[in-house]
Amino acid sequence: MVEAADHSEAIPPTSPEHRDGDEDALDTANDDWGKRPACFRHAAHECLFVAVATMAVGMSSFLSGTTVVIPVFVARDLHMSQAELTWLVASSQLASGSFLLFFGRMADLLGQKSIIIASFFLFSVLSLGAGFARSPLALDLINALLGIVTAAAVPPTQAILSTAYGRPSRRKNAAFACFSAGFPVGFALGMVFNGIATQLFGWRAAFWLLAIIYLVLTIAAVFCVPKDTTPKRALNYETLQRFDPLGVLLTIAGIAMFSAALSLGPTAPHGWTTDYVLVLLILGFALIAVFVVWEHYYPHPLVPMYIWRDRNFSLLMSALSLGFAAFPPGIFFAALFFQRVWELSAISTAVHLLPMAVAGVLVNIFAGAFMHRINNKLMMFVGASSFTLAFLLLALNRTSSSYWAFFFPGFVFCVVGADLEFNVANMYVMTSLPADQQGIAGGIMQTVTRLFTTVGFGIITAIFDSVAQHPSLKGAYYAASPKSQPYSAAFFYSTACAAASVVLVFFLTIGTQGGSKGAVIAAEAEAEAEAEAVAEAPIPLEKL
């Protein structure tokens, strides 16, 4: 990803005058809220850019919200199998996670603003094309392309934000809370708007509405994204090497094969012993292992291994990955439950899922206001525990159960978990790590959450299909509701992932983040990083 430190001259963090670090820290201490970055002409300009940035990171969840409310209608129209239906969502997550860091490097070549505008426009064009898809394969492929485009928008947007809001402050907390709110806001808008469009005009209209929305955002981005005046890299062999093309290919192929094997195994002719399932499973695992080794020795790795030496970063990423391996797949199957078991319409499904959107906005407002006051380890514990409780409630639900007793509180707790964990991890990357590692770490955070979402879809689909074919949940409680058994099994998987993340939280050593104290901590971290930078150099390939 584009490193924040590279753009300090193009986008001044706090003012047009040059000031040294001591003066900046003093200003932050005196004004804990922080000053408006000089790259924004006025408050309206700043607010509009933050809104566009929110929709940039929300592009992926906007698409996910759309695909959550239309699966039954798409499956009926295009005769899609369960595996094909799952890949309607998983394909975009896989493609997005695989290309996030690649597009972070691409911004060095083409410029941050250009990448943002181009990604919005291409998302609009591809969404228009998705509405004309006539086969499951075509729709899944277009969704994969949409995933690639969503990956292009996130790194340059996050780089501009982290550079504009240079030092920790309440203003930075608020800006990044809005940025993080892109996930629930995008998901909510995708569900509600496209649920209405599907109800009135059919599922194809849902994609056409996406095309209109992001065409408008393309125009807005032209005027509100700060001008990018940073030097661009020349297009040559050395530049191409920095993209780590082999790393990108290994990631895509490895995760795709592994996830495909998990989703195809239960419905294959001979189950898990089917030849192509075994080949995909073994090859996928092998390619992922090769990717890890390659990244350790390649001079310009896609995922630098040294970043994992920061203990808190590794623990936060592990907990966040477990949460996102459970969250999007779990909500996808909750929507399927509403449409297949309760036989709800698209708009009714969206209304039943709407509490997540409202809770998401409220949680992000809370996080932006209080992250600098509340111990963030406690916030992570509350988030992981909320995840666990949420999916446990969904797992205990039966066909005849009340929505208000299980799904409603489950959805609220689910969003509390997702947004608290994401805010804490995102703020740690942008305040506690040295400036030269923030871009890399931010890209890795976005990448691992989306790739683990893909793996989660593969695992949960395998569990769902297996239990659907051979119901195995014992006891009168589940025997009385056979239709809900495969869904309960899927939710128990999500519960197990969330419970595992709770254990990791106890090993964290983070405190509060943001505010004047955070500025001092960030400055100390940068000084330590500069002193140890030489020791972190990778081993060149030629020395192997």
Instruction: Give the number of other CB atoms < 10 A from CB of residue 345.
Output: 16
Question: What's the pLDDT at 497?
Answer: 95
Q: Tens digits of per-residue pLDDT, 395-449?
A: 988 777 789 999 999 999 998 998 899 888 888 877 766 655 555 676 778 778 8
Q: How far apart are CA 79 and CA 133, in angstroms?
A: 13
Question: Which of 258, 281, 299 is at the close of a domain?
Answer: 299
Q: Tens digits of per-residue pLDDT, 479-507?
A: 546 788 889 999 999 999 999 999 999 99
Question: What's the pLDDT at 537?
Answer: 46
Instruction: Say if residue 162 is in the same domain as residue 275.
Output: no
Closest to 171 in 3D by CA, of 299, 294, 34: 34
Question: What's the pLDDT at 508?
Answer: 92
**What pTM was computed for the model?**
0.76
Contact at 8 Å (CB) between 318 and 267? no
Question: What's the pLDDT at 473?
Answer: 58
Instruction: Say if residue 273 is in the same domain as residue 362.
Output: no
Phi, psi of 392 (to 5 degrees): -65, -40
Question: What's the pLDDT at 114?
Answer: 86
Residue 528 CA neighbour count, 13 Å, CB half: 11
Using the predicted structure, report yes or no on whether residue 386 has a pLDDT greater than 90.
yes
Using the predicted structure, report yes or no on whether residue 32 has a pLDDT greater than 80.
no
Instruction: Say if residue 268 is in the same domain as residue 124.
Output: no
Question: What's the pLDDT at 94?
Answer: 78
CA dist 111 to 116, 196, 317, Å?
9, 37, 28
Burial class (CB in 10 A: 0-12, 13-18, 19+), 536: middle
CA dist 242 to 101, 109, 359, Å?
11, 11, 41
Q: Helix, strand or coil for residue 182?
A: helix
Greater model confidence, 492 or 367: 492
Which residues have C-beta within 8 Å of that of residue 139, sequence separation ≥ 6?
Answer: 74, 78, 88, 130, 133
> In 238-249, which positions are buried (b, 16+ CB within 10 angstroms) versus exposed (e)?
ebeeebbeebbe
Greater model confidence, 151 or 168: 151
Which residues have C-beta within 8 Å of that of residue 16, sequence separation ≥ 6?
Answer: 38
CA dist 268 to 141, 262, 273, 280, Å?
22, 11, 9, 12
Question: What's the pLDDT at 225?
Answer: 87
Instruction: Say if residue 291 is in the same domain as residue 386.
Output: no
Q: Helix, strand or coil for residue 328?
A: helix
Question: Residue 296 corresponds to which tokens in the numbers above?
Answer: 């350790």
> pLDDT tier at 157 (50, 70, 90 boundaries)?
confident
> pLDDT tier at 7 (50, 70, 90 boundaries)?
very low
Question: Residue 291 corresponds to which tokens in the numbers above?
Answer: 């990717």
Q: Helix, strand or coil for residue 389?
A: helix
Mean pLDDT, residues 309-317: 90
Greater model confidence, 333 or 435: 333
Q: Tens digits of per-residue pLDDT, 286-300?
A: 998 999 899 888 888
Mean pLDDT, residues 308-318: 90
Question: What's the pLDDT at 62?
Answer: 87
**Average pLDDT value over all residues in the chain:** 80
Q: How far apart are CA 411 and CA 460, in angstroms?
A: 18
Question: Which of 299, 316, 337 is at the close of a domain?
Answer: 299
List the CATH number of the domain containing 204.
1.20.1250.20
The answer to whether residue 271 sits within a structural domain is yes
Question: What's the pLDDT at 14?
Answer: 43
Instruction: Say if residue 175 is in the same domain as residue 269.
Output: no
Q: How far apart are CA 368 and CA 450, in angstroms?
A: 23
Using the predicted structure, report yes or no on whether residue 26 has a pLDDT greater than 50.
no
Using the predicted structure, report yes or no on whether residue 69 has a pLDDT greater than 60.
yes
Using the predicted structure, report yes or no on whether residue 15 has a pLDDT greater than 90.
no
The alpha helices in 298-406, defined as continuous H runs, are 311-336, 346-370, 376-395
**Percent of the chain scoring above 90 in pLDDT:** 24
Instruction: Say if residue 216 is in the same domain as residue 266.
Output: no
Instruction: Say if residue 42 is in the same domain as residue 185.
Output: yes
Mean pLDDT, residues 455-474: 80
The answer to whether residue 20 sits within a structural domain is no
Instruction: Say if residue 462 is in the same domain as residue 511.
Output: yes
Q: Tens digits of per-residue pLDDT, 236-265?
A: 777 776 777 888 888 878 877 887 787 677
Greater model confidence, 80 or 302: 80
Instruction: Say if residue 207 is in the same domain as residue 251.
Output: no
The answer to whether residue 24 sits within a structural domain is no
In terms of residue numbers, what domain contains 397?
Answer: 4-15+32-228+238-244+300-543
Greater model confidence, 329 or 533: 329
Using the predicted structure, report yes or no on whether residue 272 has a pLDDT greater than 90.
no
Instruction: Say if residue 88 is in the same domain as residue 148.
Output: yes
The answer to whether residue 21 sits within a structural domain is no
Using the predicted structure, report yes or no on whether residue 21 has a pLDDT greater than 60.
no
Q: Tens digits of per-residue pLDDT, 115-128?
A: 899 999 999 999 99
The answer to whether residue 267 sits within a structural domain is yes
Q: Tens digits of per-residue pLDDT, 273-286?
A: 889 889 999 998 99
The total of structural domains in the chain comes to 2
Which range (113-127, 128-142, 386-400, 444-458) has the least confidence?
Answer: 444-458
Closest to 97 in 3D by CA, of 324, 242, 251, 233: 251
Question: Residue 78 corresponds to which tokens in the numbers above?
Answer: 């295009």
Question: Which of 282, 299, 316 is at the close of a domain?
Answer: 299
Using the predicted structure, report yes or no on whether residue 6 has a pLDDT greater than 70.
no
The answer to whether residue 438 sits within a structural domain is yes
Which residues have C-beta within 8 Å of that of residue 334, sequence separation ≥ 6?
Answer: 353, 394, 407, 411, 487, 491
Instruction: Say if residue 466 is in the same domain as residue 384.
Output: yes
Q: To the nearest 10°, the Cα dihedral for 383, 389, 391, 392?
A: 160
Mean pLDDT, residues 183-191: 76
**Percent of the chain scoring above 70 in pLDDT:** 80
Which residues have C-beta within 8 Å of that of residue 276, sequence separation ≥ 6?
Answer: 264, 268
Instruction: Say if residue 438 is in the same domain as residue 370.
Output: yes
State the DSSP string of 362-381: HHHHHHHHHTTTS-HHHHHH
The answer to whether residue 126 sits within a structural domain is yes
